[in-house]
Homo-oligomer: A and B are copies of this chain.
Amino acid sequence: MKIQPAIMSGGAGTRLWPLSRKARPKQFLNLAGETSLFQETASRLSDGGGVFAAPLVIAGRGHGKLVAEQLAGAGIAPADIILEPCPRNTAAVAAVAALWTARAAPDALVLLAPADHHIDDAAGFREAVLLGAKAAASGRIVTFGVKPVRAHTGYGYIQAAEEISEKVFRIAGFKEKPDEKTAQGYLDAGGYYWNAGIFLFSPQAMINALEAHAPDILKGAGGALSEAAPQGGGLLLDEGLFSKTPSDSIDYAVMEKTDKAAVVAPVDVGWNDIGSWTETASDPESAGHMLEACRNVTVRSDGPVIGAVGVEDLVIVATGDAVLVARKDKAQDVKKLVEELKRRGREDLL
């Protein structure tokens, strides 16, 4: 059975400002090592011993050339690059991926995965995908439950119900980002997993579920795909139709409503959603930075040298035109600075 990777690469990555910018959001940055998260993801989904088809990439309208360049840099030829004229959240992307695959490879399963996740153990991840494939082939919409290693308050959780097949469970419930006490309760209770935001399904199963639970999204995304035209290095969805498509997450629009949901769990592959600066690695001192009497300080720079004196629990990020200093437990609020820049019309810094 073929698996059709569909890489969701339309995110803005505002919480990783000021390195992450409109023109080059975080998934295209070399945050750790010599490749970007997008390239890592594409490579992970290209190396399955014949299991994975060439990837479909769904990205923002301004990023067609960047996607093509980064794929070329990773030695990967895409099946297609679809460009969104505006962001419409993940349900619309799932619809586009399902409809595109139904036409291009109707017998394949779609593996819908965000471009900006880091996974240590790519082989382990592929094993988890293959575990879920049988359930997906039988009409289930399969998600992946990451083994929680701490009471993380930045992720959603999935509560598993009874086992259907080896390591594949029905779902008792989806839980939104919890507070710390609730998160600790999930860990203590067991049977709760981090929602990795990765989905495996047959095109028809997703189309049926959208038809049942979010028909406007299916119709809007379907129309936008039918009217799509080559532009900007990819196939640009029709702006008039896509902009009118409701914006919702696949979790809300489909997963919480369908009785076809299932979860592969526990997935223990060193998964990490690089959602904020606290999840990134620090530039080393060999990059020229200087930490004098500091503790638990993460520094990142695309050029300027950073010097810190007597501070703790901070992230410090520098570019030639902007500097961020944030307490680590407030790193999620960096997006507020980006909103403020938008209000001020500082397009040059977005």
A interface, CB within 8 angstroms of B: 17-18, 288, 290, 292-293, 301, 303-311, 314, 316, 318-327, 329-331, 333-334, 336-337, 340-341, 344, 346, 349
Contacts and interface: CB of A to CB of B under 8 A. Distances in A.
Looking at chain A's contact residues, is the secondary structure mostly helix, strand, loop, or mixed?
A: mixed
B319 A307 contact: no
Contacts of A308: 324-326
Given A305-B346, A305-B349, A290 B321 contact: no
A277 to B, nearest CB: 10
Contacts of A346: 288, 305
Given A340-B292, A344-B288, A346-B288, A305 B331 contact: no
A346 B305 CA distance: 10
Contacts of A341: 290, 305
B304 A325 contact: no
A304 B321 contact: yes
A330 B310 contact: yes
Contacts of A336: 292, 309
A337 B293 contact: no
A290 to B, nearest CB: 5
A307 B327 contact: no
B322 A309 contact: no
A318 B349 CA distance: 15
Contact of A331 (B293, B309, B318, B325): B309
B303 A321 contact: yes
A341 B334 CA distance: 30
B311 A314 contact: yes
A301 B304 CA distance: 13
A290 B18 CA distance: 13
Contacts of A18: 307
B310 A326 contact: yes
A325 B316 contact: yes
Given A288-B346, A305-B321, A308-B324, 6 more contacts: A290-B340, A292-B337, A293-B333, A304-B323, A311-B325, A320-B321
A296 to B, nearest CB: 13
Contact of A310 (B311, B333, B344): B333
A344 to B, nearest CB: 7
A312 to B, nearest CB: 9
A331 B311 CA distance: 11
A344 B288 CA distance: 9
A294 to B, nearest CB: 9
A323 B327 contact: no
Contact of A333 (B309, B319, B322): B309
B326 A309 contact: yes
A279 to B, nearest CB: 16
Given A304-B319, A323-B304, A323-B316, A309 B337 contact: yes
A306 B325 CA distance: 8
B337 A325 contact: no
A325 B305 contact: no
A99 to B, nearest CB: 40
A346 to B, nearest CB: 7
